[in-house]
Structure 1
């Protein structure tokens, strides 16, 4: 209670002592000198006589004149007729009065000049602005010591658009100027009364420099600003045109006296002095009564919670007897000391707390260990261990990682490590202890049994795949609620990112696209026919085809894939896939087979040759790319959709071949689609023909081409006997209309290329 009463008393005294402290802090003049000129205080280094100022540039000419209203006292800057309104030593500023330049239509036309020369001081560029008022007015501000010029041109014929109180550029304009301007000229003119309508409400134009906030524009100022003939202007001053370091080298001329410090002028034209913290007074006077005097902080606002002790330049605080602390309100304050028994209780409490915390931590670790073991068993960990043991010489194919290993690799699954969000989980980039860069897939929704099944399924699928164009599985973590997959990191993004013109301006070449298509087709063909158990991917799309730094294709995301028993050709399952790539026959019947992947791959082929997305809601013709592509093929307008970035005369034949192959892949009836093995062989055949240097121009129908592509066509069983054209034979039931359209498309594409489009 005593402490609180004392604190309230201190706070009450602060208000009373602040005014007294402010009065004591007023700047002083030299002894025997006048400290005022009229209503203007004259602090040293300024003075009204040469004995009272530091040097002649600080001389203030104090004059008294007699007017009709009586006597008036005016203080002028030395060597000028510029009146002084106020003098400040911290900050070092003068407030002077400057006239308004005026030009009217009823006067003799011509320029109006206004020159100001401060000689030793500079106009403040941060606290003043150059202002122009008028509706047929041109004025500019020029630095007489340099070539700098700035200004405003105003033209307005109506008074209805003026913004009251704002100098927004209509009727009024304001602009700034650089620092260290000592002398300037204001020039004011107009278009010599060109617009008579303007003269009715704006007979004169005005220009002036004014202190910020001293002028607020009103549309009435356009009619008459004569009631404001002068405006205050802020001027910076410095003791000498030296830096602090230069001035301190000569103690005899150094202006900063005891208990003061030197500061560089904001105008960059010298230095000035201020009292140190804890002192107040005039830093240019050495008198102990007039210079920088110690402030008794105990009489003004301080931070003591009990008792204040003044020291030179500062103060200290103390606490009542029996209390401990530094005595500062914002410090430790004053607190009653703890008794030994309190210390003992605290130590005992700390011991109990530590003991209980250790028990809780041990219990938590055991619970976490049991939980991880439960997840491990629930996620098939024991079965996985058996499989790894049975692999014998291939144990490096699948490794079981601990949760702690993957947390360290991903910085505790930090958001900055996220590579993307797949249909079955979130993928993070990780760095293992052996510095291998990996991708780690984690379920987005904890406890979702469907996603758990998808992750386990992906482990089962990937563990049976060994192909260079399929993402390699390094291992998994089964200690979490949802299994985590660890597979190789493919560093060059998805295929869609490379062919979409909105995402990548540097398009892949046609040769690279064709190779990627062949590699992808080969990988899917391997899944369908070469794997130990056939695998249907069920989600083939351009975002699931990754590219490494050599643009080698890697098929990824097997969360939706299904193993097909050897004695079955199709399986019934819940429809799952991506809009735009989904096989329409599978969507209607729910019967999943290998031809479903063929359809999805056909859409990817269309994306490769057109550069368009599978589904584009902003596409005016047709949102579904497969339907739009089929429609254009039917209308013999394939050239309209082909990607112009790869369209070239030398690529025309291959583009047409791939286009017709894609069309066969996306047929609605799955039985009419080729198998992935046939697709892969045809794409490899196109690449092989391209690689042989003797196959050029009309030689495309050579015996080599007939063998490579005719071999594929013969597998369809629909080519007529004796067919010698290998390419056409590969299309099976292609009608005469289709083959005629083939030649028509070729001609149209050649025309497009020749025309430069």
Structure 2
């Protein structure tokens, strides 16, 4: 597709030129063919702002004129919404039954170094075909790269439905905001060879959503490509520069909002700004006299009474002898005189209403003060004053004391949809604070009187824990009966779900050992380096969270206590989770750091066997995973309970080493169990003996399905690539 570009003077017979006030500068071309060209856009020299110059080209075949930005055809410029409708090429891939090979034509749209961005609101990424997997490789104005996929399958023409694009013959995905580059490509493992008797080709493109309705013939024929001549409309947003309104207004010579009746609108940091006419005005805000007063009185539905137009507004009043709202549908109504009796009744009613309202206000003020007093009492009871004084005395201390209303707002009043997990100690919610920071908010269920008195002191110690494998406590709320804790949010869930979910992929032995070692290092820190030492008391796989890099982070200090310092503190209410509880702790009530070691031993068993720690529906001798494991070790039948997904000849020595370490952790006598420091060191040694130390962990262990097409074309707004663009293209698969 090639168009010859003619210079301005050769276009004069076919273009209209602005005279006087209009959408373009005076004396500048306002049209190219059927397309209006409003300022800040322009065709002629000196008729456009920087970055908005367009070309008007004549088709040598039919003599029509078309408008282009670079080599992208412009169909329409929408001045009020700061958008433009352009033509975008369709990528395709077809299977040749005769040659038994794949041919394709891959396209991209590069808007970098321009004022254009793909509209995320009005466009969608589409994939059409059977046995089709298409990818959308995108880069935004911050040079962040995104990749999305869209799978479309079908097994017969009868399975297709007109107007439905939900994965059968057609699929669609949204576009992130701020995108200025995209490329549509295909995975060649999905190539229509198995359905080529009725569907030979696949298509992928980003296009305007309102311009697309799925037709089943798009799958069974090549209608989609030929009907559109290989191109479809796409809606792009445009803006002025990359400065904010505040910065742009300081430089009056380059400030684009030229009309005195215009306003500037920020689009965000790095996205520039746009100009609009002020309310009550209409026209082109980029021209000095572009925004003219709008006569609202011309629209009879605006005012049903007496209408008088004013600059930027209008006055609308009811005619004499009528009353009401002339701007509403009810309009003006004739005034009817009321009798003295009616006035008396109305007066009494108003008086009673005033009395009721005042009574309600007094009641509400009294209740508000009562609630405030209760909250203040809770705050003092939980040691809030001590905690607040410590926070003021320590510089750089980032702990926060939250108001109850802040946490209610963050969780949408503790909506059940925001629940991340529930346990014996309480419920954890996902919350979003005012600064858009995502956190985990835990509402504890119970707290004894001793914990209430010591809460402020203990939370001050816990808040200063800083370890990469421990979830940080960010703050708390003390003005409630049971304090609420606020933690950092960990995105990838917990180890229990990763191990036991029926949909979880198999995780390799190396990843399991890495997670175990990281959790052991966290508990070692609590036992050996925290001052005073801290006993977690509820170590289990669901309290080992995984971040975006699948790094382990030990969580849930709702049940944690400071290590006892005298014998009186050893007597305590037994707390924990069935299957993980230390038998010695259950029998004696003596809580020590060795209780955490026992629980961690059960977590090691989960990683080795992929079995849950306790089953209620099994016989007594098979309910406990630890009992079954110790029996298997005693009878030399370890392999019978191991997860067969990690069993192979090369890894059995490692597995036996971990199993022996777990057995030591599960010793019935706490004194004979190893310290957590020794457990972490042992896991480190086991990991270092693995045969392939150079193999890197892959947390999700899902091979990339992305493939690179054999042919590549790119539609650009500029004729060159920057260094960053070339680097980005070089990183794409297959290049």
TM-score normalised by structure 2 residue count? 0.46
- Find the structure with the greater CA-based Rg: 1
Greater RCO, CA 8 A, separation 6+? 2
